[in-house]
């Protein structure tokens, strides 16, 4: 009998005992379980040396333990403690560096704000980066970019990661779209415009991606026009001590044509009382405002 087969049979025989022992330990330790467990959670390299030839099996065992631990803390613990999420996940991916699911869900467990999760977004982002490097997975890069945008509010860094993901083998075509959209939502218009322009230029006439890029380029143009109008509104108010009653009055004040229509030809909506300025709902460029803000002299 080979040593690897013997080890596998031994592990199979020990699994029932391991489960029973773990249940007894969990019942005895109760709310102090996480602190006590921290004393016997080993490093991944130690576990690899202990189980030669069974790294994949032990990665599954440790991932099961990770999910069990996270779920137990989330659902049953009165004094929630997620301190072992990262060590257990680290052991799992050290045993099996290509365990994509462990990187993905381990990052979610880490990033979820406490008390739903560990509230450690930076560790989650680092874990996704590690996973993307180890596996070449464009999805892990995508999640990394999304987490950077969501938790660090860094649109440029997020877009860079998403563009990197787009270059990986088998990557989804919409990753570039996501990068441009992240920049656009964060008012990084010049960088967003560069991505949309490149997508437009690289697509065939009539292609859905080309049409989508054109719509977004026109949307960015509309935002630029609204900036111009907002600047003239400020000048009008400073000169007259009140807001203009209409965009026509603002245009007369300027003494020259102003971009009072968006690139689709639809007039902008303007509220002379509040000074609010936004795209008309009747415009093909209109989209819901994620922040639901229409601040005076600002762009929705």
Boundary (domain end) residue, out of 120, 135, 150: 135
> Would you say residue 28 has pLDDT above 50?
no
- Report how many domains make up the chain: 2
Q: What is the pTM of this model?
A: 0.68
Q: What is the mean pLDDT of the chain?
A: 83
Q: State the pLDDT at residue 211.
A: 87
**From residue 40, how far is each of 93, 94, 117 by CA, in Å?**
18, 17, 22
Q: Which two tokens stand for residue 112?
A: 């979820």
Per-residue pLDDT, 85: 92
In Å, what is the CA distance from 35 to each residue of 38, 40, 78, 82, 115?
5, 10, 14, 10, 17
Residue 205 domain-assigned (yes or no): no
Work out the pLDDT band at 5, boundaries 50, 70, 90.
very low
Task: Quote the pLDDT of residue 79.
Answer: 80
Q: What is the pLDDT of residue 1?
A: 53
Helix (H) or strand (E) holding 277, with range, is strand 277-278
Which of 94, 116, 135 is the last residue in one of the domains? 135
| Residue 286, domain member (yes or no) | no
Picking from 46-60, 139-153, 218-232, which range would have the lowest pLDDT averaged per residue? 46-60
Q: Quick one: average pLDDT of 236-261?
A: 95
Domain that holds residue 228: 215-278
Same domain? For 14 and 125 the reply is yes
126 and 18 in a common domain: yes
């Amino acid at each position: 009998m080979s040593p690897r087969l013997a080890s596998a049979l031994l592990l199979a025989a020990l699994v029932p005992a391991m489960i029973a022992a773990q249940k007894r330990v969990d019942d005895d330790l109760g709310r102090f379980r996480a602190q006590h467990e921290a004393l016997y959670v080993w490093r991944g390299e130690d576990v690899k040396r202990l189980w030669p030839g069974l790294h994949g099996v032990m990665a599954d065992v440790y991932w099961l333990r990770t999910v069990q631990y996270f779920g137990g803390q989330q659902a049953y613990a009165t004094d929630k403690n997620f301190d072992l999420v990262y060590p257990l996940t680290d052991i799992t991916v050290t045993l099996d560096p290509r365990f994509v699911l462990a990187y993905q869900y381990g990052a979610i467990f880490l990033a979820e704000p406490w008390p739903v999760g560990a509230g450690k977004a930076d560790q989650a982002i680092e874990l996704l980066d590690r996973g993307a490097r180890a596996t070449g997975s464009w999805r892990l890069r995508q999640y990394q970019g999304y987490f950077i945008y969501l938790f660090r509010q860094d649109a440029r860094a997020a877009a860079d990661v998403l563009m990197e993901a787009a270059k990986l083998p088998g990557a989804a075509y919409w990753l570039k779209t996501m990068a441009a959209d992240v920049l656009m939502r964060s008012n990084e218009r010049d960088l967003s415009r560069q991505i949309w322009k490149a997508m437009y230029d690289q697509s065939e006439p009539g292609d859905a991606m080309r049409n989508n890029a054109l719509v977004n380029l026109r949307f960015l143009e509309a935002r630029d026009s609204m900036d111009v109008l907002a600047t003239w509104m400020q000048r009008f108010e400073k000169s007259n001590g009140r807001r203009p009653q209409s965009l026509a009055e603002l245009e007369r004040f300027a003494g020259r044509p102003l971009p009072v229509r968006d690139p689709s030809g639809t007039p902008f909506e303007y509220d002379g009382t509040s000074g609010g300025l936004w795209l008309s709902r009747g415009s093909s460029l209109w989209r819901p405002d994620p922040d639901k803000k229409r601040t005076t002299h600002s762009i929705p």
